[in-house]
Amino acid sequence: MTLLIRSQARRTAPPTQRRKRLSSHAIMGPVMAAPALILLAVFLAIPFLGAIAMSFYRLQLNSTRAPRFIGLEQYSRLFTDPDISAAFLHSLGNNFTFAAVVVPVQTALALGLALLVNGKLRGMAVFRTMFFMPLVFPLALVAVVWRLIFARDDHGLLNSAISLFTGGSVGPHDWLGSSATAMGAIIVMSIWQSVSFQMIILLGGLQAVPHDLYEAASLDRAGRWSQFLHVTVPGIRNTLIFVALLTTVFSFRLFDQVYLLGQSGSVDIESTQTMMYQVITTGYDQNNIGQGAAMAVVFLVIVTIVAVIQRRLVRQEGSIR
Amino acid sequence: MTRVRSIKRSRLLSRTGRYALLVFFGLIFFVPVYYLLVGSLRPGDKVLGGLSALVPSDLSLDNYAGVFNRFSNDTTGYVWQFAGVSLAVTAIVVLGGLLVNSLAGYALARMKWRGRNIVLLLVTIMTIIPFEAVALPLYYMLSGQRNTLYVQALPFLANAFSIFLFYTYFLSIPVEVEEAATIDGAGPVRTLFQVVAPMSLPAYATVAILTFLGQWGQYLWPVLMITDTKLRPLPLELSVFQNAQPPEWGPVLAFGVLFVLPVLVVFLIFQRSFVASVASSGVKG
């Protein structure tokens, strides 16, 4: 009530007061936004432009040689110089493989899990807690734990479990060390850690589907699958698209697990290296900043394309909830 | 009544089927967590013992003592030093981030100033750029600041996505409340922190939780910037420690538990708002 009276008072406030408020906005607005904007400029916008500039130079840290402008050479090397292009194209391919598996699998799994925990069952709180737990695990720790689970010969948890269930007929396998399964192992640990993130977002989507739609469907004697396909899926379509694209961007950022395991030599690096892995090993470990920057720019172009597609789809479909 | 029954029946799976799946996935999610906990409490040679690694026998805190003994001088660093660095950096990023990002979000949502629309557009564009893309050039530009505490925190204080989250949340608050405060003579900063912020606790909680999770596990940036043992955060030290020769799996797992346990406890206490936060991060668009 008092609010109402006050807001009416506000409307009849003398023009001088309003002008004063506006002029205080004109000054205080930029002042309040300034700390964040300056930080964003220094730590995001300038290094972003810097990456583009650096990619045109032969550049090393702590080197006596002056930076040398070499134009687009480092970009063409990414695709033509066998020393660099072999690993880079491999990494690019690995990123796409990772995304091609993780995006559909993780999205579908997240949806399945969301449906599973969406509803009342005795003990559901305990299951939900179990499902959400991996989310708080830092990726470095995820890599260490799963490195042990995937350990080769029969000391590894997974090998030992497989041997038990197959009665010893399937021998132990070096999951991380063999090129056939290393990427699969990275995929498993990544999904384990982050699927609950997508699951929670989808759970929010599921709970926003109006309940009377289900009632109407069941009055129409729609079967379970038919309800799922004609009520649930359309109801969370936007959320599903959002989750899939979010997962795509995450896929391209893959780095921590691979780098950490690569450092200890416990993973087959050729089949698991990613673009970010190349950026860091080239730019940091080999001190070839310019070449690494060129890779970072390619990385950024790909991520941007995904993000723009994401925004387009979202805008077409209206707001996402 | 019949309606209720038909809705119940319309589930995709029977109750038993659902329980079976819940237990199956519950195990998949929980076994690695359990493996970590139990492994940290048993002798190190039991960690790689196949399925018997899951048997909770010979439990002791020896591995934890081992961790503290191993990290007991200036060359090795100290456990509390790593934890202190992680805590300090995370606290600076979370608290500082809440401050600068909510200030910017408020200025964009509620105040009229020249250039506001352009800034809003730029912030939206910057939500696309992942930190990974600028890590290498930033490392080159800040190479003089390597091995400092503040360089670990500064790049993560301002966050375009957090600004955006605050911005959209503030827009949803009825403007009359603030106008009342303005009439009472409060400036915009006071209005934000005394009137708007208390009404926006879900937004602050969301930003705090998401920032905390990202920062506590931050690995890439310290890899580039920190070589000094004294300034290593937990993830970096863990990656060095897991590589020790010969391997010390017992203490490594104990170190891992010390790393994740505080977060796990906080998560268990605040699970509800935690889940709400993650869910609302999906409203981004």
Residue B193 domain-assigned (yes or no):
yes
User: Per residue in B126-185, pLDDT tens?
Assistant: 988 999 999 999 999 999 999 999 999 999 999 999 999 999 999 999 888 888 888 888
Q: How confident is the model at residue B4 (pLDDT cuts 50, 70, 90)?
A: very low
Q: Which two tokens stand for residue B261?
A: 């346990």
Report the residue of chain A nearest B260, measured CA to CA.
Answer: A137
Number of domains in chain B: 2
Nearest to A141 among B139, B160, B260 (CB): B260
Which residue type sits at A311?
A: R
Look up the CATH number of domain A75-316. 1.10.3720.10
Instruction: Outline where B48-142 has alpha helix (H).
Output: 62-70, 79-110, 116-126, 131-141
Q: Are residues B33 and B100 in the same domain?
A: no
Do B53 and B85 have their domain in common? Answer: no
Q: Would residue B66 count as lying in a domain?
A: no
Looking at the structure, do residues B115 and B216 belong to the same domain, yes or no?
Answer: yes
Tell whether the model's pLDDT for residue B2 goes beyond 50: no
- Quick one: B20 and B124 in the same domain? no
pLDDT at site A316:
59
* Burial of residue B147 (number of CB atoms within 10 Å: 0-12, 13-18, 19+): middle
Instruction: Please report the beta strands in chain A, taking only residues with DSSP state E, as ranges in sequence order.
Output: 57-58, 68-69
Judged by CB atoms closer than 8 Å, whether chains meet at B139 and A284 is answered as yes
pLDDT at A313: 73
Same-domain status, B211 and B154: yes
> What pLDDT shows up at residue A170?
87
Average pLDDT for B207-221: 94
Q: Which token pair is A1?
A: 């009530």
Cα of B73 to nearest chain A Cα, Å: 24
**CATH code, domain with B165:** 1.10.3720.10
B45 and B85 fall within a common domain: no
pLDDT at residue B3 above 80? no
CB-CB: which of B36, B47, B103 is closest to A33? B103
Could you give the count of Cα atoms lying within 13 Å of B72 in the half-sphere of its Cβ?
7
Write the CA distances from A85 to A72, A99, A282, B45, integer angstroms.
15, 21, 12, 42
Q: What's the full length of chain A, in residues?
A: 321
Q: What pLDDT is recorded for position A264?
A: 87
* All structural domains of chain A with their residue ranges: 75-316
ipTM for the predicted complex: 0.92
d(CA B150, CA B93): 10
Per residue in A62-121, pLDDT tens? 888 889 999 999 999 999 999 899 999 999 999 999 999 999 999 999 999 999 998 788
Tell me, yes or no, whether B252 lies in a domain: no
Residues B81, B151 within the same domain: yes
Asked if B112 and A29 touch (Cβ cutoff 8 Å), the reply is: yes
Listed by number, the residues of chain A in 278-317 with a beta carbon closer than 8 Å to a beta carbon of chain B are 279-280, 283-284, 289, 292-293, 296, 299-300, 303-304, 307-308, 311, 314
Q: Does B67 reside within a domain? A: no
**pLDDT at site A136:** 93
Lowest-pLDDT range of B44-48, B79-83, B215-219: B44-48
In a domain, B256, yes or no: no
Residue B225 is predicted with a pLDDT of 97
Walk along chain A (321 residues) and give the pLDDT tens digit of each residue: 334 444 444 444 555 555 566 668 889 999 999 999 999 999 999 999 999 999 999 999 988 888 999 999 999 999 999 989 999 999 999 999 999 999 999 999 999 999 999 878 888 999 999 999 999 999 999 999 999 999 988 889 999 999 988 988 888 999 999 999 999 999 999 999 999 999 999 998 888 888 888 888 888 887 878 888 888 888 888 888 888 888 998 899 999 999 999 998 889 999 999 999 999 999 999 999 999 999 999 999 998 898 888 777 766 554 443
- CA dist A14 and A17 (Å) reads 6
For residue B275, pLDDT over 90 is answered with no
Sign of the C-alpha dihedral computed for residues A154, A158, A161 and A162 taken in this order:
negative
The pTM assigned to this predicted structure is: 0.90
**pLDDT for residue A14:** 54
| One domain, residues B50 and B83 | no
Are residues B115 and B25 both part of a single domain? no
Smallest Cβ–Cβ distance between B32 and the set A32, A163, A192 belongs to A192
Q: Is the pLDDT of residue B199 over 70?
A: yes
Residues in A 211-270 with any Cβ partner in B closer than 8 A:
214-215, 217-219, 222, 224-225, 227-228, 239, 242-243, 246, 249, 253, 255-256, 259-260, 263-264
Task: Report CA-CA distances (Å) from B13 to A46, A310, B16, B41.
Answer: 54, 33, 8, 39
Residues 6+ apart with CB under 8 A from A214: A227, A231, B7, B10
Domain assignment of residue B40, given as a range: 8-60
Taking the C-alpha atoms of residue B241 and residue B222, their distance in angstroms, rounded to an integer, is 15
Q: Is the peptide bond before B246 cis (omega within 30 degrees of 0)?
A: yes
pLDDT over threshold 90, residue B24? yes
Residue B65 located in a structural domain? no
Contact A303, A71 (CB under 8 A): no
